[in-house]
Amino acid sequence: MGTIQTLPGTRDILPEEIGYWQYVESIATQILSRAMYYEIRPPIFEQTSLFERGIGEATDVVGKEMYTFTDRGDRSLTLRPEGTAGVVRAYLQNNLYAVGGVQRLWYCGPMFRYERPQAGRQRQFHQIGLELIGTADPRADVEAIALGTDILKTLGLQSLKLDINSVGDRKDRQNYREALVNYFLPYKEELDPDSQDRLERNPLRILDSKAKRTKEINQNAPNILQYLGDTSKKHFDQVQQLLTDLGIEYNINPCLVRGLDYYTHTAFEMISDDLGAQATVCGGGRYDGLVEELGGNSTPAVGWAIGMERLIILLKQLQASPQMTPDLYLVSRGEAAEAQGLILAQKLRAEGLTVELDMSGSAFAKQFKRADRSGAIACLVLGEEEAANKTLQLKWLQTKEQQAMTQTDLFNQVGELKEQLNRHKRTMSNSTE
Ligand code: ATP
Ligand code: MG
């Protein structure tokens, strides 16, 4: 019998790669906290009806990508395919609107969609998402966009392009929808099958098609910006002005649409040239109708989601995975020394030092080799003699200098030891720059 393997479209995030993930999460936490966004952690599975209502049955996600199953209690559950519906449910269920003012929320975690696995497209993938609920102010759209841009720029992704569009309000879109259907009907037979299907259910999404002939037909389709009413036009103008004021470059893409009724006004995407077909790293927009759709009072909101796998594909092109390195590597041999070594390691960790304990029991020479490889700055050595006298050797791995001291002295002088370690770290990083 062979070993059990992961399912298609899922993968392990291994230690060699985890540094990227932790780095991305720490930068996101830092940038979003500075703008007073709180993290929220809704459950990973929810009632199926939440996503049917919150994403829309006419979408690909609900139509053919959801992981839906019946549990032992005969409930229909779905593994969340995206984060917004769950966040809005939590907002309503926990009366977060009662807090007053706006709610600034973000989340991070796995999402599940039954799609064809390929580079940048998995069945379990991860998103970082932001939701700003409770304001229709164009500054909210721009704060959301600016924070997404900040995260990606801080991570070193300088060359992403920002596409924006406005899908107007409900009324604008009704008019536009009619014009679109009238335009597409004569071409019906030439559209790709998905788009033919969308003609009745969700015609705006035809503009999103990647099929060659449909793309050609799209070129002369009516432009949504010509269907915006005064309010929508004003909102979109303000968004553009504020982006310009912030020095954020953008491109208006009238084909960038979200087809459902609760999407309103601004839609945007951040796109990379270095990702091949799966080029969108961040997608978002305003969804003024969603809270009401899920049973709340009419509440405007805006948000986005970043696909972490795609982001990390880009990060890998820029830098090696951040690795952990110990300050100290603890080498010991002999029963008493090994027991003392474990205690010393724990005490030093409690002092805030990073300590790797060699547990191999192998010869000193082998342990020293591993110490060198670990990237540690110094080594603590405990042999039989040291154990008997409650002493140890402190060996600096770069200079090979070695000093003997009692274990008590090590802790009495731990502040000084930390300073020495920091000095070594600084000279090491200077010499690699
Ligand atoms: P796409 O057009 O690539 O399918 P989408 O419109 O379905 O994207 P959203 O629902 O807007 O995507 O999700 C936001 C982001 O999450 C995407 O821009 C992408 O970076 C990421 N993402 C979406 N689906 C997947 C997936 N199956 N695997 C990996 N990342 C994904
Ligand atoms: Mg998709």
- d(C-alpha 331, C-alpha 336), whole Å: 13
Pick from 24, 82, 118, 127 the residue to mutate for probing ligand 1's pocket: most ligand atoms within 8 Å of its CB: 127
Supply the residue whose CA is at minimum distance from atom 17 of ligand 1: 307
Atom number in ligand 1 closest to CA 121: 28
Strands ordered across the beta sheet of 67-70: 45-47, 76-79, 67-70
The count of other CB atoms within 10 Å of the CB of residue 175 is 16
Residue 129 CA to ligand 2 center (angstroms) comes to 16
Query: What's the rounded mean pLDDT across residues 329-341?
Result: 97
Q: So what's the pLDDT on residue 59?
A: 87
Q: Which residue has the higher pLDDT, 7 or 261?
A: 7
65: DSSP letter: I
Supply the residue whose CA is at minimum distance from atom 26 of ligand 1: 121
* pLDDT of 246 higher than 90: yes
Residue 136, SS3 per DSSP: coil
Q: So what's the pLDDT on residue 432?
A: 59
Query: What's the rounded mean pLDDT across residues 141-154?
Result: 98
The closest alpha carbon to 286, from 227, 207, 232, 230, belongs to 232
Supply the residue whose CA is at minimum distance from atom 22 of ligand 1: 307
Residue 47 CA to ligand 2 center (angstroms) comes to 21
Supply the residue whose CA is at minimum distance from atom 3 of ligand 1: 278
- For 260-310, the pLDDT digits (tens) are 778 899 999 999 998 888 899 999 999 999 999 999 999 999 999 999 999
Residue 81 CA to ligand 1 center (angstroms) comes to 10
Q: So what's the pLDDT on residue 297?
A: 96
Q: So what's the pLDDT on residue 100?
A: 78
Atom number in ligand 1 closest to CA 304: 14
- d(C-alpha 371, C-alpha 384), whole Å: 19
Atom number in ligand 1 closest to CA 279: 3
Query: What's the rounded mean pLDDT across residues 130-158?
Result: 97
Residue 307 CA to ligand 1 center (angstroms) comes to 6
Residue 115 CA to ligand 2 center (angstroms) comes to 8
Atom number in ligand 1 closest to CA 306: 15
The count of other CB atoms within 10 Å of the CB of residue 371 is 24
- d(C-alpha 80, C-alpha 112), whole Å: 6
CA–CA–CA angle 138, 127, 32 (5° rounding) = 50
Question: Which of the ligands is closest to the CA of residue 123?
Answer: 1
Pick from 106, 280, 286 the residue to mutate for probing ligand 1's pocket: most ligand atoms within 8 Å of its CB: 280
* pLDDT of 433 higher than 70: no
Pick from 51, 87, 121 the residue to mutate for probing ligand 1's pocket: most ligand atoms within 8 Å of its CB: 121
Question: Which of the ligands is closest to the CA of residue 305?
Answer: 1
- For 353-407, the pLDDT digits (tens) are 999 999 999 999 999 999 999 999 999 999 999 999 999 999 999 999 999 999 9
- d(C-alpha 433, C-alpha 429), whole Å: 6
Percent of the residues in the chain that have a pLDDT greater than 70, as a whole number: 99
CA distances from 46 to 50, 206, 286, 309 (A): 7, 30, 23, 23
* Residue type at 418 in one-letter notation: K
Q: Token pair of 37, please?
A: 């966004």
- d(C-alpha 379, C-alpha 413), whole Å: 16
Query: What's the rounded mean pLDDT across residues 164-185?
Result: 94
* Residue type at 54 in one-letter notation: G
Percent of the residues in the chain that have a pLDDT greater than 90, as a whole number: 88
- All structural domains of the chain, each given as residue ranges with its CATH number in brackets, are 15-169+229-318 (3.30.930.10), 328-432 (3.40.50.800)
* pLDDT of 90 higher than 80: yes
Helices marked H in 246-334 — which ranges? 290-293, 308-318
Residue 195 CA to ligand 1 center (angstroms) comes to 19
Residue 257 CA to ligand 1 center (angstroms) comes to 14
Query: What's the rounded mean pLDDT across residues 34-43?
Result: 98
The count of other CB atoms within 10 Å of the CB of residue 254 is 17
Pick from 7, 272, 310 the residue to mutate for probing ligand 1's pocket: most ligand atoms within 8 Å of its CB: 310
Question: Which of the ligands is closest to the CA of residue 120?
Answer: 1
87 and 131 in contact (C-beta within 8 Å)?
yes
What is the rounded (10 degree) CA torsion for 221, 224, 225, 229?
A: 140
Q: So what's the pLDDT on residue 259?
A: 67
* pLDDT of 62 higher than 90: yes
- d(C-alpha 150, C-alpha 132), whole Å: 16
Q: Characterize the bridge pairing of strands 161-166 and 264-271.
A: antiparallel
Average pLDDT, the chain: 95
CA distances from 87 to 70, 302, 378 (A): 23, 12, 47
Residue 61 CA to ligand 2 center (angstroms) comes to 7
- d(C-alpha 185, C-alpha 299), whole Å: 35
Q: So what's the pLDDT on residue 159?
A: 87
Atom number in ligand 1 closest to CA 120: 29
Residue ranges around ligand 1 (CB below 6 Å): 82, 113, 115, 120-122, 125, 127, 278, 280-281, 283, 305, 307, 309-310
Supply the residue whose CA is at minimum distance from atom 5 of ligand 1: 283
Query: What's the rounded mean pLDDT across residues 113-141?
Result: 97
Atom number in ligand 1 closest to CA 278: 3
